[in-house]
Amino acid sequence: MQHYDYIIVGAGAAGCVVANRLSANPKVSVCLIEAGGSDKSLWVKIPAGIFGLYGNKKYDYTYQGVPQKQLNNRVITVNRGKGLGGSSSINSMVYIRGNQHDYDGWAALGCEGWSYQEVLPIFKDLERNLAGQDPAYHGFTGELNVVNPQDINELARRFVQAGAAAKLPENTDFNGESQLGLGIYQVTQNQGVRVSSYTAFIEPIQQRPNLTILTNTEVFKLQITQDRVTGVELERDGVHSSLQCTREVILSAGAIASPRILLASGIGDQDELKALGLECKQHLPGVGENLQDHIDSMVTVRSPQPVSIGVSWASVFPHILPAPFQYGLKRKGWWTTNYVEAGGFAKTRYAEAAPLGSPAADPDVQFHFTPIFRSYRGRKLEMGHGYSLFTCVLRPESKGRVKLANDGRFKNLLIDHNFFSAAADQKVLIEAVKKAREILASPVFDTVRGEEMAPTSRLQSDEEILAYLRQTASTVFHPVGTCKMGVDALAVVNPYDLKVKGMQNLRVIDASIMPKLISGNTSAPSMMIGEKGARMILAAA
């Protein structure tokens, strides 16, 4: 039977960083296990390939959540990356860290060592900033490329200019002094090619003789003796096997899969485990609780002009047919788009009313602007041209849970975001739609503006907008918190070492350890967690 010093479950944003750092010591053996397969696909490499990744079960788990009571009992698809790089191989590559107060808030909850001033150097160490941004906030020698987009659509630039209509300044660095304003997003790319956690941290060192990478291999559960993990049970192509661990097992499977593995292994609430027919190895009622995500809405507008990215006779010859050649020769054209080329952060009236300088006075909504006409009917593709503005609640109060389905398999999940269970989230998202409309009403869009197709101009009152949100709002793909660190009764891991409470050699190092959701995209913060967690392991070795 094979033995490894360290077994890392999940080759996603955090897991790849951990595997890189631990395998740098040639005296230890490291096994990185990924349930998905290779990232060697044009869909993954080319930024515009995102279109073929979401919903593609080769690269996306496409989990189905439980009916959402406050969203007309709709089932929400939970898209998570399946393959080397995890969700960093299917996301929009936007580089956002979150607000300074997010991390200070973690520290205030008892997570010492996680304040903004303590995590900022880690972000900088990981980053290779090629966008010429302020060295006070950015690093230039790390593995993760951060750049400006290759070929920005004209409508994205108009969107930034439109901020003036809503008193939102242009912001060229959302990771700098302030998040407020609109701007072009920096992305994790290298000359127009996606940079994932895998390509940044594992691909350059994958030949290390002490690093083993297993793909298409799912960890079913952990082997536990008293308070130690002795190995992991695997499944590949229906064949079961196991690996033995001599030092530590690190779960980096993400906010959905990490709690599943813990629960299937008997770590969780003892009463729930008993009801599932599982022996409780460690009573931790917080496993799977505290699920948080950004709930998101959309305003989409048709355009009579073929300026946006879209399918029409007017776009075939100038854009669609030349796109492969423009990309191959110059890294220009429509294949370079990550679709959410621009965006930003704004305050609703609730944040504006909060005491100045308090966390509540920070921007409470985030925008993702897409220079394409997104379907108002739920289709993957709509013909024609237009533009869409997605808006999410940055600091949601609603909390859900991830639990095992009681079907005897210990693999299927009940994912309940519990969206809109907090009335405050409803109020903020209603105001966010109004703010989005205010921006899109700017005169800079006059020459390209057509009909508002969603929510439609007919819906204006708060009640009408809320009804629209109940029927259409969804996740923006940022689940966190299901194995949270902390000192309260629902904490799953210790803040100072990320070890699962009561366990000697089991850690969780991924977005599931966030006690509260950060104000922005979660890929870069997950890599920071991977780096900080790896340093904890090395310091104790």
pLDDT number for residue 297: 97
pLDDT number for residue 375: 84
Rounded CA-CA distance 330/387 in Å is 25
Rounded CA-CA distance 68/415 in Å is 10
Helix axes 13-23, 523-540, angle to 10 degrees: 30
Give pLDDT tens digits for 488-531. Answer: 999 999 999 999 999 999 999 999 999 999 999 999 999 999 99
Give pLDDT tens digits for 254-312. Answer: 999 999 999 999 999 999 999 999 999 999 999 999 999 999 999 999 999 999 999 99
Per-residue pLDDT for 316 more than 70?
A: yes
Which residues share a beta bridge with 344? 182, 367
Question: Could you say which of 368, 385, 417, 478 is catalytic?
Answer: 478
Give pLDDT tens digits for 230-252. Answer: 999 999 888 899 999 999 999 99
String of DSSP letters for 124-163: HHHEEE-S---TTT--BSSSEEEB--SS--HHHHHHHHHG
Per-residue pLDDT for 84 more than 70?
A: yes
Rounded CA-CA distance 35/234 in Å is 10
Give pLDDT tens digits for 111-126. Answer: 999 999 999 999 999 9
User: Do residues 293 and 398 make contact, with C-beta atoms less than 8 angstroms apart?
Assistant: no
Task: Check whether 94 is labelled as a binding-site residue.
Answer: yes
pLDDT number for residue 376: 84
Give pLDDT tens digits for 148-184. Answer: 999 999 999 999 999 998 999 999 999 999 999 999 9
Tokens matching residue 215: 């793909």
Mean pLDDT of 73-78: 97
% pLDDT > 90, the chain:
95
Please report, as a single letter, which amino acid is at residue 243: L
pLDDT number for residue 265: 98
Task: Check whether 536 is labelled as a binding-site residue.
Answer: no
Taking CA atoms, 392 is separated from 6, 297, 370, 436, 476, in Å, by: 38, 6, 14, 11, 7
Torsion of CA 470, 474, 478, 480, to 10 degrees: 50
Using DSSP bridges, classify how beta strands 282-283 and 295-303 pair: parallel, antiparallel or unpaired.
unpaired
Environment class of 356 (CB within 10 Å of its CB; exposed 0-12, middle 13-18, buried 19+):
exposed
pLDDT number for residue 421: 98
User: Do residues 147 and 131 make contact, with C-beta atoms less than 8 angstroms apart?
Assistant: yes
Taking CA atoms, 48 is separated from 22, 129, 340, 518, in Å, by: 33, 22, 10, 26
Rounded CA-CA distance 141/127 in Å is 7
SS3 272: helix
Helix axes 100-108, 116-126, angle to 10 degrees: 130
| Mean pLDDT computed over every residue of the chain | 96
CA nearest neighbour of 13 among 258, 191, 248: 258
Give pLDDT tens digits for 183-205. Answer: 999 999 999 999 999 999 999 99
pLDDT number for residue 60: 97
CA nearest neighbour of 150 among 251, 46, 241: 46
Mean pLDDT of 81-89: 98
pLDDT number for residue 381: 78
Band the pLDDT of 1: cuts 50, 70, 90: low
Q: Which of 29-43, 106-120, 292-306, 372-386 has the lowest mean pLDDT?
A: 372-386
Q: How far is CA 188 from the centre of its chain?
A: 13
Would you call 417 a catalytic residue per the annotation? no
Which domains does the chain possess?
1-68+77-96+190-291+483-541 (3.50.50.60), 150-184+295-395+420-472 (3.30.410.40)
Rounded CA-CA distance 7/246 in Å is 9
Taking CA atoms, 77 is separated from 67, 159, 302, 416, in Å, by: 10, 29, 26, 11
Band the pLDDT of 541: cuts 50, 70, 90: confident
Task: Check whether 92 is labelled as a binding-site residue.
Answer: yes
User: Do residues 532 and 103 make contact, with C-beta atoms less than 8 angstroms apart?
Assistant: no
